[in-house]
Amino acid sequence: MKKVPYRNLISKVLGVSLVVVLLLSNSLLAQEAAAAPSGEGDAVKGKQLFNQNCAACHSLNKKMTGPALAGVTERHDKEWLYQWIKNSSAMVKAGDAAAVKIYNEYNQAAMTPFPTLSNQDIDDILAYTDAPPVVAAAPVGVAESVPGGGSSSGISNEIILGALALVFALLVMMLVLVNKTLRRIAEANGVVLEKELAEKRLPIWKAFAQNQFLVLVFSIFLLLSAAYFAYGWMMQVGVDQGYAPIQPIHYSHKIHAGDNAIECKYCHSSARVSKTSGIPSLNVCMNCHKSIYEYKGNPEGPSAEDLANGYTNEFYTGEIKKLYKAVGWDEENQKYTGESKPVEWVRIHNLPDFAYFNHSQHVSVAGIECQTCHGPVEEMEIMYQYSPLTMGWCINCHRETNVKVEGNEYYEKIHAELSQKYGVDKLTAAQMGGLECGKCHY
Amino acid sequence: MSSNKKYWKSEAELNPNDSIVETLRQNEFVQEIPVDDFLGDKETLAASSTNRRDFLKYVGFSTAAASLAACEGPVTKSIPYVVKPDNIIPGVANFYATTIANGFDFASILVKTREGRPIKIENNTDAKIGGSANARVQASVLSLYDSTRLQGPTFNGEAIAWSELDAAVKSKLASLKNSTKKIAILSQTYASPSTTRLIAEFREAYGNVDHITYDAISEDAALTAFEAKYGERALADYNFANADIIVSFGADFLGDWQGGGYDAGYSKGRVPKNGKMSRHVQFEANMSLTGANADKRVPLTPSEQKVALAYFYGKLNGTAGGGNLPESAKAALDAVAAQVLKNKSNAVVVTGIEDVNAQAVVLAINEMLGSKAFDVAAPKYVRQGNVQAVKTLLADMKSGKVGALLMDGVNPVYSLPNATDFVEGIKSVDLTVAFSTNRNETTELVQYVAASNHYLESWGDAQLKKGHYSLMQPTIKELFDTRQFQTAILQWMDSDKTYYDYIKETWSAGILAGNDWNQALHDGVLVSVPAMGEDVVAAVAPKVAEEEEMTTEVPLASAIRSLSTATADGMELTLYSKVGMGDGQQASNPWLQEFPDPITRVSWDNYVTVSKADAEKLNLINENVADGGLNGSYVKLTVDGVALDGVPVIVQPGQAPGSLGLSFGYGKTVGMKSEMQTGVNAYALYKDFSNTQNVTIEKSAGMHEFACVQLHKTLMGRGDIIKETTLEIFNTKDAKEWNVVPVVSLDHQEVPATSVDLWDSFDRSIGHHFNLSIDLNACTGCGACVIACHAENNVPVVGKAEVRKSRDMHWLRIDRYYSSEDTFAQDDTKKEEFDGLFGDKGSLGGFGEMEDPSANPQVAFQPVMCQHCNHAPCETVCPVAATSHGRQGQNHMAYNRCVGTRYCANNCPYKVRRFNWFLYNENDEFDYHMNNDLGKMVINPDVTVRSRGVMEKCSMCIQKTQKTILDAKRDGRVVKDGEFQTACSAACSSGAMKFGDVNDAESEIVKLKESNRMYHLLEHVGTKPNVFYHVKVRNTNEA
């Protein structure tokens, strides 16, 4: 009975989505069609080429290592541009006035020559820089025109929950009503309820108090369970599983390792060779963030969940600016100011000093995935300690994990001898001596 | 049984009518309790709203609040580099080759740095010449982090900027340019081609510049003698590995004699190979490290040594050298002279007598013998001090001829015997500048104190020996606002070059001789014959101060005559430098202060050593008192009117009767923490820079409390602890006879102790199994390993009072034993022949006698660290299994598991476990390097810093073996032989300690273990240690 409007809703949502998709594709097609004939170049192809070749140093509307390229055709003629892009340093050498000016303006950093780009390619790129296809704007506009229809899944979840709550409330109300009616009927029929009888009985708590055996059993049970919980509580003292402190810069592993699939060891490079995985120094961040100065997020825009947390594009861009401040990067002039301020990260994984742990042993030698201990980092918006990092946890893994001996000459002899001794095919870390106290405590 | 004894606290109590006693008896407190002071003010008390109950509430709540607040875990910050230097990976050590050249210690070394902090000194194995890192060099890294270092330049005690100092000094120097007054540079020995060139240029720029090189402990006699004979102010080099017979007249060449660094070569010849080893005869007054290692040691006073040298020379030449000598000494000289003549070029003679005649004679002897161990073609430049020039300078200063005095690396007010002259003279100098790393006696007196770099922060170069060049490079940026001398000189010359450029220039001009600069810098050392122009050679070759007249060669005949007539007036004092302290420039280094002297085993002190005979005569005593410490009498020493009072006495076996010994380097006070102000300043008695002095000695009142780590001096005939034999027996008899395996009774049958066991053995044939080999023949007892162990393993310094209570924390100790009879063999025989309790051969009296070392004993050194027993007694008694055994042979110690019962230490037969009685870090009671942030920078991040209440001990450097294994795993290869090292084995330049994997059949350690000299310490206990020793062989061959 109550489900009808709900079913209607779904179909409505589906309908709206369809309309959105259609509208979207329409507008895309329309734009492409409009862009293609506007110049000799193909702006869509140009965008691809731009991202491949130019984006490291250039942006459309912003000065980076090189100048902003929007409207560059208005500043220079095409022939000049062909020549410049294919070999700028030759132009500078030859003393072309405009070339020398740009060269000097941008700290005398010579632009990488692109002799492989054909004139058509350059035309495409220039077409893109002159009139970039406004893809990003389209869905926003459509979404505005059909409010509430944009991101369907999040809202419909809420509706489902709301409807369920409503149903539940109705059920409760009905139950009360039925009960009341029945009572009334009973009274009217002269049925005596057994209330008075019950009052004569000994209250249950008194009976309990008088039964000493029960009291004894109960208190033993109480003490034991208290001890159990106390023990459990004590054992977690100093175990910071789930510790997710607020960091000075909101660094999202989800965006870096998840969305952009950056390999962990690209930034945590010392994990390969050192005992510490190392928090990357800020110059490592700047390898990418020199050109990634703002967060553009998913093409669909931030999810409702993100929005609820305040993780808007502006928020992330703000965090990038924090990085610039710390590393002393002057965005305007694309220069380091030399005034840097190291970031004081809050350490999450912190082994006690008496335990020795070496990342390279586990990462390089054993080939263990970072996620084995650090959890699904690529999904962590806020980094937290995934594993308990207790000794029991270490030992367990050493007991269960086989040593990766393949292709490692070091293990050849010892593996052959030990596996024969223990009569196994594959040795665990424990059998290799990984449980000895002195391997980690010295 | 009741007693009527009356106990009394003071003598006054014996007098029943004493009023004080009566008064004290009535009063519970000797002093009036100042109750009124805190309860008298009734008003305040009444006005206070806090009553007792409130107070208790506050206490209760604040305690509860504090404990609740403590539940919150601390937030740890982690701060990465903003821009990480390419060559630094956090957690991975970098090594840099550099050179120490502080005027006393010269060595090519490797510096281990972690995250940019130097934390340990290692030997540079590429260096082809001696001068490997000794104990002081090993410890020098801690001096870098000395919290008492000067942090910036000062003017009359006020901090100023370098620019101000530069301006003031430059204007003053400019004004002196055309005046009659001269500019004097008083410096340490640099042995640096670049600095020599720089000072020459400085002289050109300012004219009238005098460079006076001053060694606190002078080698002037040897330099002068060498110069007279060979025309160059340098020191002959010796390679003792090439000598079969070594004769030394008072030369402590295993110590700091002529710059030291001879132990590696010496030890090479001391290990019996093909039935041959060198024979070493020592004639000396003090019991030195060298004498302790000699096959035959003849105690002679300094004057007797001179006579003996003359006699010896006569014997070699077949002429009769006269002189007054004891018959036994003559016999010894006759024997050794005959041996030397027989061996000729395979013999070498050295002397440490600070006398030009003696030095000249020795040079002549070696020349005559054509000794293979004697090298004058490539002499050493590590001592350049010129006594005459220093004296001239003092005179010039007094007479006002010196306009500016620039000092670097010297502390003349402390180390000059006539320091008062200097103090007086400096008043007449217009400009005084002292470069120094620390505040010291001299910096107190000068106008400008230029805070100087530590050598680990400096650029530099050195020519330790002709053709052997070393480079010094900074391993850390200057910790403070300091500047090295050379940089300042460049500044004052208005040069825009850095000293680095300057060195590079010097090297490119000739030293490199086609070699690559970067490669040279990487290696730290370069052997090259410089092909340079005459002028550069002249600039680089160490110069004789111009005003000094050229010394002419000493005619040998007159030299011999003067030697043979040498006499002494009363007691003779020999001043020497200790292995741990040297000339005293690192006196504020807690590692070195706590380093026990190899001979006396006393730390935190210097003392006068007296022979037993003289001690009895003068009524001087050493006694072990009830608290377990060693006490000694005080004496007053007077040399030519200069008195040194309150010098504690050590009765030294082997000290020549009629002679005394006293070491330099102590008694510093200015700029030192109070804990470090130990000992007496022996430089006060260093009259005329002569290391031997006629001295009068008187007993003073009181007893001195020593911090001595070994109170028992002899082995009491327990020949199985240090097994030794003679070369003859070693060569002719079966190992069973001289390397006896102890036997035990099993089923009423005597079987070798090694064959019996309480436990089943664990199969250790798989994987690595580490063993440490210690060759008692090669070990000189120098103690470099002790300091290396400190640095590697974060061993705490506990201070004098704790060491006195036998709470020293050394993981590695070097036991020193004296024989009670003339030799250890006689000790053994004596013990064997005990018969009954009483009588001549009775054991009751006999053992008592054996506790006393002989007047001239044999000496043996034995490094002892945790023996890593395969059947370890400590492991079985630990109630919490904090100490357990690893498959690789190491005995592990889990500090976090230890509850401190100390059962393990009690059950250890080797007494190598150390207990943390206190928290030694971050504790003001132990104000050494671990109590300040700067000092803590030396801590090795791979090793736990132990806390109070846990046991610790040698781990066989498990952090190093694990690192080696991991490196191999990462590279996917097997571990090569020689890759495994411990801190001690890496520091051992004499090759006495070798470490390796006995499961690697090809390794050197396997060969060492299979040697017939191998034995285990206390083998009969059945502990099956993983440390083994090699029987000491003495070459007693007199023919």
Locate the chain B residue with the closest alpha carbon to A240.
B73
B818 and B857 Cβ atoms separated by less than 8 Å:
yes
**Which residue in the set A245, A281, A410 is minimally distant from B82, CB to CB?**
A281
Question: What's the CATH class of domain A43-130?
Answer: mainly alpha
B759 and B1023 Cβ atoms separated by less than 8 Å:
no
| Structural element, H or E, at residue B662 | strand B659-663
The strand pairing partners of A104, in sequence order, are none
Residue B29: C-alpha distances to residues B10, B33, B572 (Å): 17, 7, 54
Q: What residue type is assigned to position B258 of the chain? A: Q
Q: How far does A409 lie from chain B, in Å, by closest CA?
A: 5
Partner-chain contact B75 A346, CB within 8 Å: yes
Phi, psi of B928 (to 5 degrees): -110, -160
Locate the chain A residue with the closest alpha carbon to B80.
A281
Q: Locate the domains of chain A by residue range.
A: 43-130, 202-237, 253-345+358-386, 390-441
**Which residue in the set A409, A421, A442 is minimally distant from B766, CB to CB?**
A421
The two structure tokens encoding residue B664: 């330099």
In this prediction, residue A191 carries a pLDDT of 76
Q: At a CB cut-off of 8 Å and minimum separation 6, what does B30 contact?
A: B24
Q: How far does B942 lie from chain A, in Å, by closest CA?
A: 7
Partner-chain contact A408 B886, CB within 8 Å: no
The pairing of strands B347-351 and B245-249 is: parallel
Q: How far does A344 lie from chain B, in Å, by closest CA?
A: 5
Interface test with B, best of A249, A270, A279, A281 (most B CBs within 10 A): A281
Mean pLDDT throughout B794-819? 93
Q: How far apart are CA B191 and CA B381, in angstroms?
A: 6
Residue B321: C-alpha distances to residues B312, B360, B860 (Å): 8, 16, 34
Locate the chain A residue with the closest alpha carbon to B952.
A442
H helical segments located in B145-240:
162-176, 193-206, 220-230
Q: What residue type is assigned to position B650 of the chain? A: I
In this prediction, residue A43 carries a pLDDT of 79
Partner-chain contact A352 B969, CB within 8 Å: no
Q: How far apart are CA B575 and CA B695, in angstroms?
A: 11
| Structural element, H or E, at residue A416 | helix A409-422
**pLDDT class for B1037, splitting at 50, 70, 90?**
confident
The two structure tokens encoding residue A28: 């895309």
In this prediction, residue A382 carries a pLDDT of 92
Partner-chain contact A361 B969, CB within 8 Å: yes
Mean pLDDT throughout B560-581? 87
In terms of Cα–Cα distance, which of B994, B988, B991 is closest to B134?
B988
Q: How far apart are CA A382 and CA B770, in angstroms?
A: 46
Chain A residue numbers touching B896 (CB-CB < 8 A): 352, 354-355, 441
Mapped onto helix, strand or coil, the DSSP state of residue B211 is strand
Within 363-392 of A, beta carbons closer than 8 Å to B belong to: 364-365
Interface membership of A279 toward B (CB under 8 Å): yes
Q: How far apart are CA B1011 and CA B766, in angstroms?
A: 22
Residue B1004's CB: how many other CB atoms inside 10 A?
A: 14
Specify the residue for token string 């411990």. B982
The two structure tokens encoding residue B98: 């550099």
* Mean pLDDT over each residue of chain B, to the nearest integer: 89
Q: How far apart are CA B595 and CA B593, in angstroms?
A: 5
Partner-chain contact A408 B972, CB within 8 Å: yes
Chain A residue numbers touching B966 (CB-CB < 8 A): 358, 360-361, 365
pLDDT in tens, B879-928: 999 999 998 999 999 999 999 999 999 999 999 999 999 999 999 999 99
Cα B779 versus chain centre, distance: 15
Q: How far does A411 lie from chain B, in Å, by closest CA?
A: 8
In terms of Cα–Cα distance, which of A350, A349, A346, A345 is closest to A285?
A345
In terms of Cα–Cα distance, which of B228, B172, B245, B635 is closest to B429?
B172
The two structure tokens encoding residue B528: 């090259």
A347 and B77 Cβ atoms separated by less than 8 Å:
yes
Q: How far apart are CA B932 and CA B928, in angstroms?
A: 8
Buried b (16+ CB within 10 A) or exposed e, B832-848: eebeeeeeeeebeebee
Q: How far apart are CA B29 and CA B9, in angstroms?
A: 16
Percent of chain B with pLDDT over 90: 64
**Which residue in the set A281, A408, A438 is minimally distant from B958, CB to CB?**
A438
pLDDT in tens, B261-287: 898 899 999 999 888 999 999 999 999
Chain A residue numbers touching B92 (CB-CB < 8 A): 270, 273-274
Partner-chain contact A282 B80, CB within 8 Å: yes
**Which residue in the set B75, B80, B896 is minimally distant from A280, CB to CB?**
B80
Mean pLDDT throughout B777-783? 93
Is the model's pLDDT at B38 over the cut of 70?
Answer: no
Is the model's pLDDT at B989 over the cut of 50?
Answer: yes
Q: How far apart are CA A72 and CA A60, in angstroms?
A: 9
Partner-chain contact B767 A342, CB within 8 Å: no
| Structural element, H or E, at residue B815 | strand B813-818
Residue B863: C-alpha distances to residues B62, B363, B711, B774, B780 (Å): 53, 36, 16, 8, 10
The two structure tokens encoding residue A48: 């691809």
**Which residue in the set A274, A341, A352 is minimally distant from B90, CB to CB?**
A274
B652 and B602 Cβ atoms separated by less than 8 Å:
no
Is the model's pLDDT at B718 over the cut of 90?
Answer: no
In the DSSP assignment, the letter for residue B713 is: -
Q: How far apart are CA B526 and CA B512, in angstroms?
A: 8
**Which residue in the set A238, A347, A354 is minimally distant from B895, CB to CB?**
A354
Specify the residue for token string 């000339």. B583
Q: At a CB cut-off of 8 Å and minimum separation 6, what does A332 contact?
A: A63
Classify burial at B696, counting beta carbons within 10 Å of its beta carbon; exposed 0-12, middle 13-18, buried 19 or more: middle
Is the model's pLDDT at B301 over the cut of 60?
Answer: yes
Q: Give the pLDDT of chain A (442 residues) as one tens digit per residue.
A: 444 444 444 445 444 454 444 444 444 444 444 444 444 677 788 888 887 788 777 877 777 777 888 778 888 888 888 888 888 888 888 888 888 888 887 777 778 888 888 888 888 888 888 776 655 444 443 334 434 444 445 567 888 999 999 999 999 999 999 999 998 888 888 776 665 555 567 788 888 888 889 999 999 999 999 999 999 888 888 888 889 999 999 999 999 998 889 999 999 999 999 999 889 999 999 988 988 888 887 666 677 777 888 888 888 899 999 999 999 998 888 888 888 899 999 999 988 889 999 999 999 999 999 999 999 999 999 999 999 999 999 999 999 999 988 888 999 888 888 888 888 888 899 988 889 999 999 8
Q: How far does A366 lie from chain B, in Å, by closest CA?
A: 9
Mean pLDDT throughout B194-213? 91
Is the model's pLDDT at B91 over the cut of 80?
Answer: yes
Mean pLDDT throughout B937-946? 93
B1019: phi > 0 → left, psi -120 to 50 → alpha, else beta; which? Answer: alpha
Residue A189's CB: how many other CB atoms inside 10 A?
A: 7
> Which of B186-195, B315-324, B584-593 shows the lowest mean pLDDT across its residues?
B315-324
Could you report how far apart the first and last alpha carbons of chain B are, in Å? Answer: 69
Locate the chain A residue with the closest alpha carbon to B1000.
A413
Partner-chain contact B893 A421, CB within 8 Å: no
Classify burial at A201, counting beta carbons within 10 Å of its beta carbon; exposed 0-12, middle 13-18, buried 19 or more: exposed
Mean pLDDT throughout B395-404? 91
Q: How far apart are CA B803 and CA B783, in angstroms?
A: 17
A138: phi > 0 → left, psi -120 to 50 → alpha, else beta; which? Answer: alpha
Interface membership of A218 toward B (CB under 8 Å): no
pLDDT in tens, B582-612: 999 999 999 999 999 999 999 999 999 999 9
Within 243-262 of A, beta carbons closer than 8 Å to B belong to: 245
**Which residue in the set B81, B945, B975 is minimally distant from A281, CB to CB?**
B81
Partner-chain contact B79 A411, CB within 8 Å: no
Is the model's pLDDT at B551 over the cut of 50?
Answer: no
pLDDT in tens, B641-677: 899 999 999 999 999 999 999 999 999 999 899 989 9
Mean pLDDT throughout B7-29? 74
Interface test with B, best of A236, A340, A354 (most B CBs within 10 A): A354
Residue B18's CB: how many other CB atoms inside 10 A?
A: 15
Interface membership of A347 toward B (CB under 8 Å): yes
In this prediction, residue A251 carries a pLDDT of 92
In terms of Cα–Cα distance, which of B453, B444, B446 is closest to B481?
B453
Interface membership of A239 toward B (CB under 8 Å): no
pTM: 0.83
Classify burial at B373, counting beta carbons within 10 Å of its beta carbon; exposed 0-12, middle 13-18, buried 19 or more: buried
Q: What residue type is assigned to position B399 of the chain? A: S
The strand pairing partners of B725, in sequence order, are B1033
B542 and B255 Cβ atoms separated by less than 8 Å:
no
Within 104-133 of A, beta carbons closer than 8 Å to B belong to: none
Q: How far does B110 lie from chain A, in Å, by closest CA?
A: 21
Residue B121: C-alpha distances to residues B329, B539, B824 (Å): 43, 32, 36
Locate the chain B residue with the closest alpha carbon to A364.
B970
Residue B53: C-alpha distances to residues A90, B42, B58 (Å): 91, 19, 9
Q: How far apart are CA B187 and CA B393, in angstroms?
A: 12
Q: How far apart are CA B385 and CA B1015, in angstroms?
A: 47
**Which residue in the set A280, A347, A442 is minimally distant from B959, CB to CB?**
A442
Mapped onto helix, strand or coil, the DSSP state of residue B1016 is coil
Interface membership of A274 toward B (CB under 8 Å): yes
In terms of Cα–Cα distance, which of A115, A113, A131, A117 is closest to A40?
A131
Chain A residue numbers touching B958 (CB-CB < 8 A): 438, 442
Chain A residue numbers touching B76 (CB-CB < 8 A): 346-347, 350
In this prediction, residue B179 carries a pLDDT of 84
User: Between B841 and B427, whose confidence is greater?
Assistant: B427
B797 and B929 Cβ atoms separated by less than 8 Å:
yes
Q: At a CB cut-off of 8 Å and minimum separation 6, what does B14 contact?
A: B8
Count CA atoms within 13 Å of residue A335 on its CB side: 9
**Which residue in the set B84, B895, B974 is minimally distant from A283, CB to CB?**
B84
In terms of Cα–Cα distance, which of B624, B586, B632 is closest to B607?
B632
Q: How far does B85 lie from chain A, in Å, by closest CA?
A: 10
Residue B481's CB: how many other CB atoms inside 10 A?
A: 13
Residue B950: C-alpha distances to residues A22, B77, B797, B914, B1014 (Å): 75, 28, 16, 9, 34
